[in-house]
Amino acid sequence: MRVPKGFKASGVSSGIKPRGLDLALIVSDLPCKAVGLFTSNRVKAAPVLYSKKVLRKGEVRAIVANSGCANACTGSEGLADAELMARLTEKTLGLRRGEVLVASTGVIGRRLPLEKVREAMPHLVEELSPEGFSKAAEAIMTTDTVPKISWAEVKTPRVTGTILGIAKGAGMIRPDLATMLCFLVTDVGVEREMLMACLKEAVSASFNAITVDGEQSTNDTVFLLANGARGELLQEEMPLFREALSRVTEELSRKIVLDAEGATTLIEVRVEGAEDDAQAKRAAMRVANSPLVKTALFGRDPNWGRIMAALGDSGIRLDPSKVSVWINGLKVVSDGKGTGVPEQMVQEAMASGEVRVEIGLGLGEGRARILTCDLSYEYVRINSEYTT
C-alpha cells in the first residue's frame, strides 16, 4: 500500500459495535480541496446532510466515520449528533470549525452514542499514522468480511503522486450516488470543479455500475480529498489523473461485489445493441437486480428464460425476435429463441464462481456493463438477523 504524502489515518474500537473497530479518522497535514457524492435516496442520514453543508465551502482537513450506527431517521437530534461528532474531532485535532466531514454506517433509527465517541477521540487521534489506513478501512466495516483498500500512482513528467481509497459495502448496495462508503485521498493538486468532474466520471463507471440486492442506502457517500502536497496538475495532465482515479474506484467496486453478503458467484451483465447507453444500462440493471436471475445463478441453473423475462420488464424498447444471450460464452438464445445448447454444458460453464451474461438487442449502438452477484441462503440469513 502506498499512502499519499501528508495523509494519516487510524481506526479504534469505541464500543459503538459489540466487538471490533468502529471509529475511523483520516487527516491531512494540509488543507484539501474536497468534493463528494451522496445517495439519491430521499431519506438521507444526518451525516449526509451535515457533510453536504460542509462541502459547500470546498476545503476540509479530515474525515471522521463510524460503523454500527447509521444515524439515519433520527431527526434534528441526529443532525445535531453528526455536527457534534465533527466538533469533537475538530477540537481534538486543533482544527477550525467546518474542517471535518462526517460519515456513518450501520443500523437505521438509532441515536449515535456520542459519549463513546467522545471517550475514544483522544485515542483515535493518538493512533494516527500513514500506516493507519488498514485500520480505518476495518473500522468502517459492517457485514463486510474483509477491509477494502486500493491505490494507484499518478505519474506525469512533472509530478508523481498517489490516489488511495478505502471503502465498505456488502449489502444494501445499488448506490445511485449520486450501506456503501468510500473515502479517496490524493497528494496531487486539482482544481475543485475539475475534481468533481473526475469523481462523477469515475463513480459512474464503478460504484454506479454495481448492484448486490437492488437496495439503496440512506448513507451512501463518496469523498475525494486532494491536498496538493506533491504539486498541482496541469490541464493537459488530467487524463492521467482520471485514469488512476478510475482504476481505484473500479477495483473498490469490484471488491464490494466480491464481498457481497452471502455471495458465491460474481456476475457480469453486458448489454449491447440497445438504442442508447441509458437504455442498455436500464436493461442490464434490471437483469442484474432480478431475484429470479440471481437465484438461478446461485443454483447454477441455466434458466435463460428468466433473463428474457427481466429484459421484457425493463421498460426499454425491445424486439424479442432480435435478442441473443450468451452465458459464459455459450449462446443460449438466438433471435429470441433457445439454441438447444445442452443444459449440462451450460452448468459446467457456470461452475467457476464467475458468470458472464452477454445480451445482444440488435437495435443500436448502446452498451452497458453491470457487476452483481448471486442471491443465496446466506444473504437471507444475514439480513433476517441484522438487528437481532
C-alpha cell of residue 32? 484539501
Neighbours of 377 (CB within 10 A): 11
Neighbours of 13 (CB within 10 A): 16
Q: Where are the beta strands (DSSP E) in the chain?
A: 7-12, 23-38, 59-67, 100-105, 148-155, 160-168, 181-186, 221-226, 266-274, 324-327, 330-334, 337-338, 354-360, 366-373
Cβ-in-10-Å burial (0-12, 13-18, 19+) of 344 comes to exposed
Identity at 333, one-letter amino acid code: V
Provide mean pLDDT across the span 319-333: 97
Provide mean pLDDT across the span 191-214: 91
Lowest model confidence (mean pLDDT) among 106-115, 169-178, 211-220: 169-178
**DSSP summary character for residue 374:** -
CA distance 326 to 104: 41
pLDDT in tens, 28-80: 999 999 999 998 888 999 999 999 999 998 899 999 999 999 999 999 999 99
Contact of 362 with 324, CB cutoff 8 Å: yes
Provide mean pLDDT across the span 124-133: 98
Give residue 310's pLDDT.
Answer: 96
CA distance 42 to 207: 19
Give residue 170's pLDDT.
Answer: 72
Q: Which residue has the higher pLDDT, 339 or 211?
A: 339
Neighbours of 103 (CB within 10 A): 31
C-alpha cell of residue 236? 493537459
90 confidence band (pLDDT: 50, 70, 90):
very high
C-alpha 295: how far from chain center: 23
Residue 221 falls in the annotated catalytic set:
no
Which residue in 39, 142, 162, 179 is the catalytic one? Answer: 179
Contact of 27 with 93, CB cutoff 8 Å: yes
Give residue 280's pLDDT.
Answer: 97
143 confidence band (pLDDT: 50, 70, 90):
confident
CA distance 23 to 140: 7
Helix axes 304-312, 291-298, angle to 10 degrees: 170
CA dihedral 343→344→345→348, nearest 10 degrees, is: 120
Give residue 12's pLDDT.
Answer: 98
pLDDT above 50 (res 328): yes
pLDDT in tens, 208-248: 898 877 666 788 899 999 999 999 999 999 999 999 999 99
For the chain, the average pLDDT equals 93
**Which of 193-197, 208-212, 216-220, 374-378 holds the top average pLDDT?**
193-197
> Which pTM does this prediction carry?
0.90
Residue intervals in the chain for CATH 3.60.70.12: 7-258
Give residue 178's pLDDT.
Answer: 45
Looking at domain 7-258, what is its CATH homologous superfamily?
L-amino peptidase D-ALA esterase/amidase (3.60.70.12)
pLDDT above 80 (res 115): yes
CA distance 250 to 353: 20
List the CATH code of the domain at 266-384. Answer: 3.10.20.340
C-alpha cell of residue 316? 426499454
